[in-house]
């Protein structure tokens, strides 16, 4: 389908992202040292330069990021530059309703809530409330706790409830970053919930480089690889796969 079938803002944003990240790849940005090198160029001086010259982080957001970094599972947090991109996309499309699948300590839920209008909301899905308790006081401190609707239950159940309550095609943005084996199901349900011109962001699409040659016993890598191949052929969306963090695909619903 032609790109012009989506709103002008999304079409322009897609084109700009494609040019910017194609240029980045040609310049060598985001090229992993090996197929299992972990987060893309995570410790690179060039990445630090990127952060020093582009990161505009709300003080409370930074506070939660540093708090999360000290957690034993802190590596599960979305990269700050990726979160900033998502916040900018949320603002670009003037989003009011957002879905997040996989909350952890709530860094990205806070990130998106900060840029939503006062009547906006983030439906935040997770099965572990203990991690979210780390971020909840900071949601309140930032004055956006009322925008975050945390639902502690399997995300599939929450998505089905939203569909059953008539909320199909009413969401503007969705972020998927939970158990990888369920990625395809999350994607399909989010595609039904997101309106035309909306965006679905899918995290960890490189899976530490393991998608290059998924092992038979690595169900996560196999699931992500299958979804990556599916998204390439999916005529319901336009896509950009970006070398950011552990890889993120942006799917723009047509």
Identify the sign of the CA torsion 38, 63, 85, 133. Answer: positive
Domains annotated on the chain, with CATH: 55-253 (3.40.50.150)
* Per-residue confidence (pLDDT) for residue 41, from 0 to 100: 60
For 126, the enclosing helix (H) or strand (E) is strand 121-126
pLDDT band at 42 (very low <50, low <70, confident <90, very high): low
* Per-residue confidence (pLDDT) for residue 73, from 0 to 100: 86
The more confident residue out of 71 and 90 is 90
The chain-wide mean pLDDT, for the chain, equals 87
Residue 6 has pLDDT above 50, yes or no: no
Alpha helices in the chain (DSSP H): 8-26, 45-54, 59-69, 80-92, 107-113, 129-141, 155-164, 183-193, 219-233
pLDDT band at 47 (very low <50, low <70, confident <90, very high): confident
pLDDT band at 72 (very low <50, low <70, confident <90, very high): confident
* Per-residue confidence (pLDDT) for residue 35, from 0 to 100: 36
Mean pLDDT of 60-86: 92
Residue 196: how many other CB atoms lie within 10 Å: 13
Lowest mean pLDDT among 3-17, 111-125, 149-163, 214-228: 3-17
The more confident residue out of 174 and 46 is 174
Mean pLDDT of 132-155: 97
Judge whether 115 and 147 are in contact, CB under 8 Å: no
Residue 10 has pLDDT above 70, yes or no: no
């Amino acid at each position: 389908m032609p790109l012009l079938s989506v709103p002008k803002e999304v079409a322009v944003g897609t084109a700009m992202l494609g040019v910017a990240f194609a240029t980045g790849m040609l310049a060598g940005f985001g090229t992993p040292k090996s197929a299992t090198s972990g987060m893309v160029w995570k410790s690179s001086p060039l990445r630090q330069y990127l952060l020093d010259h582009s990161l505009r982080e709300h003080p409370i957001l930074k506070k939660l990021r540093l708090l999360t970094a000290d957690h034993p599972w802190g590596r599960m947090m979305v990269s700050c530059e990726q979160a900033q991109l998502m916040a900018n996309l949320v603002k670009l499309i003037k989003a009011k309703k957002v879905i997040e699948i996989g909350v952890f300590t709530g860094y990205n839920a806070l990130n998106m809530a900060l840029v939503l209008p006062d009547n906006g909301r983030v439906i935040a899905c997770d099965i572990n409330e203990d991690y979210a308790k780390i971020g909840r006081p900071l949601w309140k401190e930032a004055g956006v706790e009322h925008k975050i609707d945390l639902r502690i239950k399997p995300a599939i159940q929450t998505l089905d409830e939203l569909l059953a309550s008539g909320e199909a095609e009413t969401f503007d943005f969705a972020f998927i970053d939970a158990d990888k084996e369920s990625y395809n199901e999350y994607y399909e349900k989010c595609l039904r919930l997101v309106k035309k011109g909306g965006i679905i962001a899918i995290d960890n699409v490189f899976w530490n480089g393991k998608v290059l040659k998924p092992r038979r016993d690595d169900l996560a890598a196999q699931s992500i690889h299958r979804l990556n191949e599916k998204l390439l052929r999916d005529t319901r969306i336009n896509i950009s796969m970006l070398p950011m963090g552990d890889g993120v695909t942006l799917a723009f619903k047509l």
